[in-house]
């Protein structure tokens, strides 16, 4: 069993992942911006460039999930800076400390996003070797991944998961998307033809677990379910499951942009993303299709 240091361990994904790691018998160490008496919670502070040395020394693996929520607030100039710094500067800080204190770390496993390929709707199915997009969402992912890949330079196995929209029973995107439908005002967004690359939270946690257990998992992988669905199909499927009618026409793109500003692109655009590379490692999805995921 391993000692696994997790950043973002109290977040939506991190909390579920930490529970799974403990179930599997691993020791979970959490980096927190709040000082506590918990012996497995360690303090770090980006502004002070401080990380508790004991946490880094004890770690066999580091899972880096920390980062401010992409869709939590409108993308002002300062917000964009915060979104990047919360990912890049934290990775840089961890790299500095690992290089200094624990260069024999067994693995550094980090999140990224399918936004790497850009907010675009096309007929292309994007794979890991495809080029990055040229918009802000792809820029975040590019610099995020560049910071993570520093660990390869000191011969540490480095894994990056480009994560899709995460669905779960509580929290996450599905809960937010279902609310208008439950209230009888649900409808597709924009054209409705944009794809939503998605993954069930349980499958995502299992992918991180696979990266701990399988040393052959190395490099960059898309963390998305194999089924491709559009916004229109997802909306209709949820309405059917909830036994609610869809009376309204699609919400116009211009209205979304008026409400959300530049951030609206993450809802209005989306292409298909391939999951073949992670499945080639032997990983099997528990929820490969949207009907099973929503039922769960």
More confident residue, 232 or 266: 232
Count CB neighbours of 181 within 10 A. 20
Domains of the chain in start order, with CATH, are 3-232+257-295 (3.40.50.720)
Q: Residue 130: pLDDT above 80?
A: yes
Q: How confident is the model at residue 163 (pLDDT cuts 50, 70, 90)?
A: very high
pLDDT of residue 245: 86
Angle at 236 between CA 233 and CA 239, to 5 degrees: 150
DSSP run (H or E) holding 250: none
> Which comes out higher in pLDDT, residue 151 or 242?
151
Give the H/E segment covering residue 155.
none
Measured CA to CA, the distance from residue 110 to residue 214 in angstroms comes to: 15
- Paired with 159 in beta bridges are 109, 219
- What single string gives the DSSP state of each residue in 164-181? -EEE-SSSHHHHHHHHHH
Of 115, 127, 133, the residue nearest 222 (C-alpha) = 127
C-alpha pair distances (Å), 249 with each of 163, 185, 252, 267 = 30, 10, 9, 16
Confidence of residue 275 (pLDDT cuts 50, 70, 90): very high
Q: Which of 187, 200, 7, 177 is nearest to 109 (CA)?
A: 7
User: Taking 80 as the threshold, does the pLDDT of residue 24 lie above it?
Assistant: yes
CB atoms within 10 A of CB 215: 10
pTM for this structure?
0.94
Side-chain half-sphere exposure of 9, counting CA atoms within 13 A: 24
From the list 111, 219, 205, the residue with the least C-alpha distance to 156 is: 219
165-217 pLDDT per residue, tens:
999 988 778 788 888 888 887 888 889 999 999 999 999 999 999 999 999 99
Judged against a pLDDT cut of 90, whether residue 37 lies above it is answered with no
**Selection from 142, 154, 88, 148 nearest residue 115 by Cα:** 142
- Tens of pLDDT, residue by residue over 237-274, are 988 988 888 877 888 888 888 888 888 888 889 999 99
In whole angstroms, give the CA distance from residue 102 to residue 154.
11
Tokens for 126, please give them.
Answer: 């994007």
């Amino acid at each position: 069993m391993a000692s696994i240091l997790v950043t973002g361990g109290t977040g939506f994904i991190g909390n579920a992942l930490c529970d799974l790691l403990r179930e599997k018998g691993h020791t979970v160490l959490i980096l927190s911006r709040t000082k506590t008496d918990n012996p497995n919670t360690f303090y770090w502070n980006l502004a002070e460039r401080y990380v508790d040395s004991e946490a880094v020394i004890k770690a066999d693996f580091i899972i880096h999930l920390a980062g401010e929520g992409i869709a939590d607030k409108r993308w002002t100039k300062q917000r964009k800076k915060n979104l990047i710094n919360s990912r890049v500067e934290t990775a840089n800080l961890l790299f500095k400390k690992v290089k200094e204190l624990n260069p024999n770390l067994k693995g550094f496993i980090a999140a990224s996003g399918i936004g790497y390929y850009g907010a675009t709707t096309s007929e292309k199915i994007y794979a890991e070797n495809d080029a990055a997009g040229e918009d802000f969402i792809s820029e975040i992912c590019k610099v995020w991944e560049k910071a993570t890949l520093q660990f390869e330079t000191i011969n540490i196995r480095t894994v990056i998961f480009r994560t899709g929209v995460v669905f779960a029973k509580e929290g996450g995107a599905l809960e937010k998307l279902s609310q208008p439908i439950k209230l009888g005002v649900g409808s597709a967004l924009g054209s409705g033809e944009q794809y939503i690359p998605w993954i069930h939270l349980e499958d995502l946690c299992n992918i991180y677990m696979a990266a701990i257990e399988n040393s052959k998992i190395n490099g960059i992988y898309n963390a998305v379910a194999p089924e491709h669905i559009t916004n229109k199909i997802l909306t209709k499927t949820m309405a059917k499951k909830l036994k609610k009618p869809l009376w309204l026409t699609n919400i116009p793109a211009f209205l979304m942009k008026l409400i959300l500003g530049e951030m609206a692109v993450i809802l209005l655009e989306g292409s298909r993303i391939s999951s073949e590379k992670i499945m080639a490692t032997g990983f099997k999805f528990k929820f490969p299709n949207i009907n099973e995921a929503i039922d769960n």
